[in-house]
Amino acid sequence: MTAELRASPSATNGTATAGAVPEAPGTADLSLSEQVAALVAGTRAADVPDSVLQTAAWWVLDWLGAAIAGLDSAPGRIMLEHTGSQPAGPASCIGMAEGRSTQVAALHNGAISHVVEMDDVHRAAVIHPAVVVVPAALSVAERIGATGRDFLTAVVIGYEVAIRVGESVGKTHYFHWHNSSTCGVFGATAAAGWLLGLDQQRMTWALGNAGTQAGGLWEFIADGAMSKVLHTGRAAANGVLAAELGALGFTGARKILEGRQGFFAATAPDGNPSAVTAGLGECWKLPGSSIKPYPSCRHTHAAVDATLELRGEYGVGVEDVERIEIDAYQSTLDLTDNPTPAHPYAAKFSVHYCVARALNDGALRPGDFTDEMIAEPALRDLMLRTTARLDPELNALAPQQLPARIRMQLKDGRKIEHLVLAAKGDPEAPLSEQELTEKFQSLIAGSPYAIRGDELVALVTGLIDRPSVGGLLTLDD
């Protein structure tokens, strides 16, 4: 990567030079945002290795599958109705034949793609980068007619910024704040701003206005509300807004991250602001993201993997188990310690249900989260005999690793256990291209896009050579 400042080759609309621009501050006094902005504005598509861009293409395919799967859901149907009431525009919206404005499309696609909990996650940052970054990049790329390579470059840049902010906020932030939204908005802004060709000054302003819009609280879990998908949709749309305003010269705080009344001061008391720029420009963060094989909170996945290992090795089922103990790290307890989930969404955030279902079925699938399934008496009984507890040694590994240990006391007196340090889909245990393809095809089965399944796989994984991103979300009337 290079720190040379320039406009993106995709900046063909001329907005990057509109309006009067104050002098940029001297290099001796660069804020965190200015340092990040320098990297973003100075990166060319040629600076990103093809191998990273190709990984990004597979991550976009994974995002698209999750997004299409979100259509057949209550939040998905509501978003379709809301988006359908908005004026037409140039940016495609999943499930619709006609496009909308860039911000509306980013909101729509960002929300729908987070519904089924099958989108990627970065462990150290504790964020879902794709659902915020890809919708922002795609809506702008379509509006300006960007190439596939430029679109993928913007995605890589967006991941870089979102993950860096996520890695820096500390563990306390995550208790109240949804990192995918609060940190993701910076990545969405960077992706959209790179495509619009923002220079360092305007990118700094855009990041400042991204940070002042950062939000997303976890209280929705108490009611099983739909707000989580609103978090990602709004972060994507706010990122586009911040970038578009930045292109017009709309100023934003240059110390939005580390300032006395900025992001860290307000939301991250144990954060490490210096992590935002640590090793900046040395390597790309995107390949370190994890792909989710199960449609539940990522903090349940290591426990599910361990359960499946024990089931396979010992041939045990729900009827054989007296009790289960789950050793985990703090976030598993904070977000998924719920032995009595009252509704399907709560079950996605119940490690007790996910473990019981995996033990019963030998799998954990999108169709496993219904009122009828979570009410099955044998599973409800086992959940009450399952305990999640903090393991200090495992907690020390988080969030760089998200481990879990399952201990089972069997009715015949045996005690069995299994430890998983890297869940399936992590960089240490990646899904193959075939597995990624199969996941995508399974997610879109039964949708209006199913007939285009093979075509979509070829289109998305071949984006690096495509002259345009148009047609990815095409849906005939």
Q: Which CATH number characterizes residue 396's domain?
A: 3.30.1330.120
Average pLDDT over residues 231-239: 98
Q: Is residue 68 part of a domain?
A: yes
Whether the CA torsion 321, 327, 331, 337 is positive or negative: it is: positive
Do 207 and 171 belong to one domain?
yes
Residue 219's pLDDT is 95
User: What confidence score (pLDDT) does residue 477 get?
Assistant: 54
Domain's final residue, options 420, 446, 465: 420
Domain of 199, CATH number, reads 1.10.4100.10
Asked whether the predicted pLDDT for residue 8 surpasses 60, the reply is no
375 occurs within a structural domain: yes
Asked whether residue 77 is assigned to any structural domain, the reply reads yes
Distances (CA, A) of 345 to 133, 185, 227: 24, 24, 11
Structural domain total, the chain: 2
Other C-beta atoms closer than 10 Å to the C-beta of 191 total 36
pLDDT digits (tens, 9 = 90+) for 85-120: 999 999 999 999 999 999 999 999 999 999 998 999
Domain containing 261 equals: 32-288
**pLDDT at res. 29:** 83
State how far the Cα of 83 lies from the Cα of 331, in Å rounded to an integer: 34
Same domain, 235 and 375: no
Kindly state whether residues 272 and 302 are assigned to the same domain: no
pLDDT tens digit sequence for 252-308: 999 999 999 999 999 999 999 999 999 998 999 999 999 999 999 999 999 999 999
Residues 157 and 303 in one domain: no
- pLDDT, tens digit, 9 for 90 and up, residues 388-444: 999 999 999 998 899 999 999 999 999 999 999 999 999 999 999 999 999 999 999
Quick one: 282 and 305 in the same domain?
A: no
Asked if 66 contacts 120 with a C-beta cutoff of 8 angstroms, the reply is no
Secondary structure string (H, E, C) spanning the chain: CCCCCCCCCCCCCCHHHCCCCCCCCCHHHCCHHHHHHHHHHHCCHHHCCHHHHHHHHHHHHHHHHHHHHCCCCHHHHHHHHHHHCCCEEEECCCCCCCCECHHHHHHHHHHHCCCCCCCCEECCCCECCHHHHHHHHHHHHHHHCCCHHHHHHHHHHHHHHHHHHHHHCHHHHHHHECHHHHCHHHHHHHHHHHHCCCCHHHHHHHHHHHHCCCCCECCHHHHCCCHHHHHHHHHHHHHHHHHHHHHCCCCCCCCCCCCCCCHHHHHCCCCCHHHHCCCCCCCCCHHHCECCCCCCCHHHHHHHHHHHHHHHHHCCCHHHEEEEEEEECHHHHHHHCCCCCCCHHHHHCCHHHHHHHHHHHCCCCHHHCCHHHHCCHHHHHHHHCEEEEECHHHHHHCCCCCCEEEEEEECCCCEEEEEECCCCCCCCCCCCHHHHHHHHHHHHCCCCCHHHHHHHHHHHHCHHHCCCCCCCCCCCC
178 and 108 in a single domain? The answer is yes
- Residue 386 and residue 277 share a domain: no
Q: Which pLDDT score, from 0 to 100, does residue 400 have?
A: 85
pLDDT of residue 148: 98
Instruction: Tell me the pLDDT tens digit for each residue of 276-290.
Output: 999 998 999 999 999
d(CA 63, CA 460): 11
8 occurs within a structural domain = no
pLDDT tens-digit map of 152-204 = 999 999 999 999 999 999 989 999 999 999 999 999 999 999 999 999 999 99
Instruction: Compute the average pLDDT of residues 206-225.
Output: 94
Say yes or no: 370 and 408 in one domain: yes
Residue 12 maps to a domain = no
Q: Same structural domain for residues 253 and 391?
A: no
Asked if the structure places residue 395 within a domain, the reply is yes
Residue 255 lies in a domain: yes
Same domain, 413 and 269: no
Q: Are residues 284 and 302 in the same domain?
A: no
Dihedrals φ, ψ of 73, to 5°?
A: -155, 165
pTM given for the model: 0.87
Kindly state whether residues 207 and 161 are assigned to the same domain: yes
Amino acid at 318: V
Q: Which of 420, 442, 461 is the last residue of a domain?
A: 420
CA distance 215 to 211: 9
Residues 6+ apart with CB under 8 A from 327: 389, 390, 391, 394, 404, 405, 406, 407
Listed residues 288, 311, 339: the one ending a domain? 288
Q: How confident is the model at residue 221 (pLDDT cuts 50, 70, 90)?
A: confident
